Amino acid sequence: MDYKRIPALALLGAAVIGLLGGTAGAAGADTGIQLRLNDTAALRNGQPVALETPPELMGSTTMVPLRFISEALGAAVEWNGTARTITLKQGERTIRLTVDRAEAEVDGQTAVLEQPAFIRSGTTLVPLRFVAEQLHQDVAYDAATKTITLTPAAEQGTPPALPPEKKPTYPPPREAPAAEPVRQKLESPTVDNLTVDPNAGKVKQVYMFATTGVKVEVHSVVSDKKDHVYVLQSDKNSGGIIGYGEFKILKYDTNVPGLAMSLVRSLDQKFSFTYKDDKGTSRRFDYGKFVPARLHYSEGTGKLYVMGESIDPEYPRILMYEVYPEVKLTAVSPDKGTNYHTGRNLFTVLSDGSMFYTDLYHQSFYSVGTDGASTFLGSTPTDTSSEMVSLVKDGEIYVLDKSTKAVYKAGPKGFELQGKVELEKMKAMTASGGFFYAADGVKVYQINLKGEASVYLALDKLTYNKGFYNPQTEQYEDQYPNEPGKLTVDEANLFTVDEAGSIYLFDNVAQIMRRINVYP
């Protein structure tokens, strides 16, 4: 016997009893499983277990470590690294989930998930209720103690133990992550043309400095973790909001052939709502008074959001909506009146759905709870003309500020300086994969959380592929020849960086989406 382990186990057992004891007796913890949100202490058939990572809420779905739930319920697990699929088998039941995909299979039948499985720091997390109920478990939740209890469904009995020779295999646990292969950048990065100029093939007439035809203005570009790039654009020649034009959110799918982006969302009645003004009078906020300014994709919730401003003088100036998969007003600033350049503000959504945003014009920093109410956290460390981008790393929010050229950690304590960025110019900024990226028109720099910058891409080293790239054939379609000339990455040509390290930008001069392949 290893006597050195007894104190640790005793402490874990005490912690579990202290946390879950209030419901353990009633639920029969000696024959079931008990977990608590945001706590690594759990009970399995009355015995304390330490989880790799705690259960967490993503939206309204509880996500738990695959290793624990599969072993606890006696399910054999197969992992296909190429397809990124997880197959769980228990008796005659087979469940197949794909990482980052919202569709699953149960005995060959398609099922839709509210939240897909995902991998964080080497640990795979899966939707608890879906997996448990498919493996014949009843799931109960105690909101007062945030305790989740799993017990075998009455007609099924206790799940069988997993034979030793069928121990599951899956992505490595968090404490022993797989070594990432060192990737070498291309000596001469290549540029792919991904979409067609909407005016391609049309006759254009030039009068002095004006060109007739459709002109699209792009306000924001973001990528998700599912091979999609989203673009917020407006077209002043297509009606819409007076002075702003018609707004649309479009999507480019890197795996689907086609020379045009698909429509995700247009502004319509779904953006309208009823509210009560300061005097208690019911009023209607019309979608035609909302001007979207900036997109945000939350890796934590897997949802797409937009921040924008109200041009209704009776309503607060900054509004934030969830726009995909559904349209829902999620937060409103407390300030009315002027708020120029709303798109320059920080806007972040964490995995539990809580939000943080700035009102730079009023130099204010807010948090938003799940009830949608804004709480003032303090002043911003910058002036009203600045711009901020953010990323989330290990549950912490980090911010790159354009004016002060500094990286901050942002939270309930306000802004904490992490480091200064030694760059002369920062014309455009984005964030992805735990890094910030800034462009000065000539180069793109990668910036770590300490503010240390290194050259990520030199634009004078680019090689331009002729034609339009077809992702299905991996060939360049010569029926749409195109000579782009030299690209710049700046305020006019906004960009994002995907999970593979490729840069996507909308070239406002040529009016097409382009991809810069930094790696092979």
CA distance 74 to 90: 7
463-470 and 190-193 strand pairing: parallel
CA distance 251 to 324: 11
pLDDT, residue 279, reads 83
Encoded tokens for 287: 């979608």
pLDDT, residue 7, reads 40
Q: What's the angle, vertex CA 38, arms to CA 34 and CA 39, rounded to 5?
A: 55
pLDDT, residue 227, reads 83
Encoded tokens for 168: 């599951």
Contact 249, 261 (CB under 8 A): no
CA distance 269 to 263: 17
Sheet holding 303-310, edge to edge: 290-298, 303-310, 318-324, 328-332
Q: Which residues pair with 247 in a beta bridge?
A: 234
The secondary structure of 52-89 as a DSSP string is SS--EEETTEEEEEHHHHHHHTT-EEEEETTTTEEEEE
Contact 125, 64 (CB under 8 A): yes
The secondary structure of 357-408 as a DSSP string is EEEGGGTEEEEE-TT--EEEEEE-SS-TT--EEEEEETTEEEEEETTTTEEE
CA distance 465 to 252: 19
pLDDT, residue 173, reads 43
pLDDT, residue 394, reads 82
Q: What's the angle, vertex CA 223, arms to CA 257 and CA 260, rounded to 5?
A: 30
Contact 229, 471 (CB under 8 A): no
Going from the first residue of the chain to its last (520 residues), give the mean pLDDT of each consecutive group of 10, the final group possibly shorter: 36 42 42 85 86 82 88 87 85 90 88 84 85 90 87 64 42 46 82 73 35 66 88 79 80 79 90 87 90 91 92 87 93 77 89 89 88 88 89 91 94 92 92 93 93 93 84 75 66 86 86 88
CA distance 165 to 92: 18
pLDDT, residue 393, reads 87
Q: Which residues pair with 239 in a beta bridge?
A: none
pLDDT, residue 10, reads 39
Instruction: Look up tokens 């760059």; give the residue.
Output: 423
Contact 457, 518 (CB under 8 A): yes
